[in-house]
Structure 1
Amino acid sequence: MGVLSVVPSPYQRDLFEALSRRPEVALSVFYQERQPHDSPWPEQPLAAYEKILPGFALRLGMVRSHFNWSLPLVDHFDLWIINASLTSATAQALMRGALTGKKWLFWGERLTPPGSSWKGLAQDYLANALEGATGILSIGSLARRDYERRFPALRHATIPYCTRLEDFSRIAGKRTENVDLTFLFCGQMIPRKGIDLLLSAFARLVAEGLPVKLRLVGREAGLPGLLKPFARAVQERIVYAGFCAPGALPLEFAQADVFVIPSRHDGWGVVVNQALASGLPVLASDQVGAACDYVISGENGLLFPAGDEEALYLAMKQMATHRERIRPWGEKSIFQAKTLTPEAGAEKLVQAIHQALS
């Protein structure tokens, strides 16, 4: 089986490693790039089944497109999986050319809602390449509903991102509640992630005299400018920990009581996997793929409408004023995380492969 992916991200590599250990799968993974110039991830050695294709990437605004050559012959594989952006020229060439009449699956997140009519037309054109697929493996149920609507004639399955969570699970039973309820946000400090909504909602809690703190982990982006309007009393209760390498993340989650992800759009959100394994209640918008599948409102967290600052504020206030819910909701989160192991993901992927080849 051949896989075309983007970069050696830890989010995909854990699943690929589990898949490579399956006796019925001879795996080859081809990455379009070793890592983008602005990647926060440290480089790791490649496995024997992984290879970086020669090529380059071009950026147009927020869109990156890969151009690669020296691709392997598609006939050397019984099945291909395309796990790449639809804006990739390499992926488009394969889907519309060499893979025509072959068995191949697309594995991807929900498409980002286009910001204009012409972007919508461009997205529709790029997505039409999937009409030639044997099936679509959606990363989450939100993505699946979208792809089923677009391509009702194709086979569909749901394969979430499944990563190694043992380091997060180990700290789950050792956490102790903070004196000041500590909310954790982990991600880029950009509007799409809803960081502006989070800061405003948190400031309201501080203004009410509630004993709360906010810990921010991730690339700084526009954070300094976003913090400027807030009073010193608010800023003193916010800790920016900076970007953390994957190995250091469990220690960050260990310092939190509640995890918050207020994204306006998030195709999946692996940080939700990590928060669940850490035994944290999760407050998430209804546009976060992972939260829609694994956060049950009132059982291990709360879902609220994306972009709704008032709803986010009320969710945070509920946790700050009902701290007795933190432990039982965290235990439910741990239970939810047990289905997100790379081995579980590999099993689902093998089942999808068998269906595609049948």
Structure 2
Amino acid sequence: MKALLITTLYSPFQIDIANEFKQEDGVSEYHVAFTVLSSKVRGNHWQVSSSVDGKYIHSIDSDGDCDHIVQWLKRLIEEIKPTHIILGRWRGCVAIEIARYYKDLDVKIGYWTEPPNFLLPNIVQFSLALYSRYLLRGADYYFSIGARCENIYRDILTKKRHVYQLSYGQDLSEFFSIDDTLRNKKLTFLFSGQLIKRHNIHWICDAILKLHLIYPNKFKVIIAAKGPEQHYIDKMIINEPQLGEVVSYDREYEHWSDRIRPFMKSDVLIYPTSHSGWGLVIPEAMAAGMAVLSTRKAEAANYFLRHDVNGRVIEHTKESLHDGMEYCLLNRDDVGRYAKQARIDAKCGTASYVAERLKLLLNKV
């Protein structure tokens, strides 16, 4: 068996999964093809590494030229001769053309995607649902990121028994190696990701301000993110200059492994998102020995987070975020208990764990 994953933006965590494959377990080769090498919203640490093994990892610098990408992929497929093609998305000219061209040939076509964006207007969601039914009607299998995604595509696909939940995975070894005794005595909250609207940065600022007024000098906040919602943080500090001593930044990374720094200094991840197709920062925080505060709008929270066991589930409101952060401030022993269990539970998010499940599913379909 030979498998080829065709995905868009170069993703270091997909490299981690590919690196776990050995010439065994019925999967003789596992290849990954990236069709987009960089993004303006990603930092330097998302760039293609020169150390990537070119034998199984393939990429093209295409500037988005669909026909150019498709022709390159067809040559690559002819060279590899995969038995399974896994598409990282079902929309877009590349995915549609590859699925159309190979659907009647001796290769199994499937998908591995995140759930749709539930923040889109209802009419758009309805249109996409109809479109997906048309495009996916002949899919041989579907690997869904999270339970919500699984439910959606089990309803759509003809071959319902070949819809499986398969999370992302990554090399978490550096996060597991963090010595939590090195952290600050003050409880430190971390937001990691992007400063964008769906992550409700204004809620975070509101909670910081209110907690600072009640518990001055009792906590710190690290922002490991960039984005257009930065103005909320700037305005907060202008209005309350003392918060300049509370809020700090750690967000300039040259390499993927540099992202570990803010996790080394933090106790609680705050993730009040309105939508996240996965949320890599959740298993990263858990592996680092941190508690997690998150809404259920992140698929990784649905997969990993157990309320009052390895973190706290918050409602999708600014009040719930505030209350969750306050609870952690007042109950440090519980934060420590969550962190210990989180490290255990994060093992289900490692690249080796996910690669083993991927091997099992590829042999099954």
TM-score normalised by structure 1 residue count:
0.89
* Residues 133/325 of structure 1: CA separation in 2 closer, same or farther (3 Å cut): same
Contact 2:10 2:47 in 1 (8 A): no
Q: CA RMSD in A?
A: 2.4
SS in 2 for 1:175: helix
* Aligned-pair CA distance for 1:147: 2.1
Paired AA for residue 129 in structure 2: D
* Residues 107/212 of structure 1: CA separation in 2 closer, same or farther (3 Å cut): same
| Structure with more of its chain in helix, by fraction | 2
Contact 2:6 2:34 in 1 (8 A): yes
Quote the Cα distance in structure 2 between the aligned partners of 1:139 and 1:253: 24
* Aligned-pair CA distance for 1:337: 1.1
Paired AA for residue 82 in structure 1: L
Structure 1 residue 238 and structure 2 residue 247: aligned?
Answer: yes
SS in 2 for 1:137: strand
Task: Provide Cα deviations, 1:264-286, integer angstroms capped at 9, x if missing partner.
Answer: 10011111111011010100011
1:78 is matched with which residue?
83
1:92 is matched with which residue?
96
1:104 is matched with which residue?
109
Quote the Cα distance in structure 2 between the aligned partners of 1:28 and 1:301: 36
Contact 2:37 2:61 in 1 (8 A): no
Structure 1 residue 57 and structure 2 residue 64: aligned?
Answer: yes
Task: Provide Cα deviations, 1:127-155, integer angstroms capped at 9, x if missing partner.
Answer: 23122111111112232223223337421
Structure 1 residue 27 and structure 2 residue 37: aligned?
Answer: no
Quote the Cα distance in structure 1 between the aligned partners of 2:242 and 2:68: 46
Structure 1 residue 305 and structure 2 residue 308: aligned?
Answer: no
Structure 1 residue 136 and structure 2 residue 142: aligned?
Answer: yes
Contact 1:82 1:105 in 2 (8 A): yes
1:15 is matched with which residue?
17
Contact 1:66 1:89 in 2 (8 A): no
* Aligned-pair CA distance for 1:303: 0.8
Quote the Cα distance in structure 1 between the aligned partners of 2:264 and 2:137: 45
1:115-126 maps to which residues of 2 (within 5 A)?
115-126=120-131
Quote the Cα distance in structure 2 between the aligned partners of 1:270 and 1:259: 12
Paired AA for residue 56 in structure 1: D
Task: Provide Cα deviations, 1:297-343, integer angstroms capped at 9, x if missing partner.
Answer: 0011011122x111111111100011111221111001001222212
Moved more, 186-195 or 242-251: 242-251
* Residues 126/49 of structure 1: CA separation in 2 closer, same or farther (3 Å cut): farther
* Aligned-pair CA distance for 1:176: 4.1
* Aligned-pair CA distance for 1:65: 12
Paired AA for residue 93 in structure 1: E
1:313-328 maps to which residues of 2 (within 5 A)?
313-328=322-337
* Residues 194/114 of structure 1: CA separation in 2 closer, same or farther (3 Å cut): closer
Contact 2:113 2:144 in 1 (8 A): yes
* Aligned-pair CA distance for 1:116: 2.2
Quote the Cα distance in structure 2 between the aligned partners of 1:54 and 1:239: 36
1:247 is matched with which residue?
257
Quote the Cα distance in structure 1 between the aligned partners of 2:137 and 2:111: 10
Structure 1 residue 334 and structure 2 residue 343: aligned?
Answer: yes
Paired AA for residue 121 in structure 2: S
* Residues 240/224 of structure 1: CA separation in 2 closer, same or farther (3 Å cut): farther
**Among residues 155, 165, 179, which one is paired with 1:149 in the alignment?**
155
Quote the Cα distance in structure 2 between the aligned partners of 1:174 and 1:212: 17
Moved more, 245-254 or 97-106: 97-106
* Residues 34/212 of structure 1: CA separation in 2 closer, same or farther (3 Å cut): same
Task: Provide Cα deviations, 1:55-96, integer angstroms capped at 9, x if missing partner.
Answer: 3328xxxxx999543223657221111123x33210111223
Q: List alignment gaps of at least 5 residues for structure 1.
A: 59-63
* Residues 156/338 of structure 1: CA separation in 2 closer, same or farther (3 Å cut): same
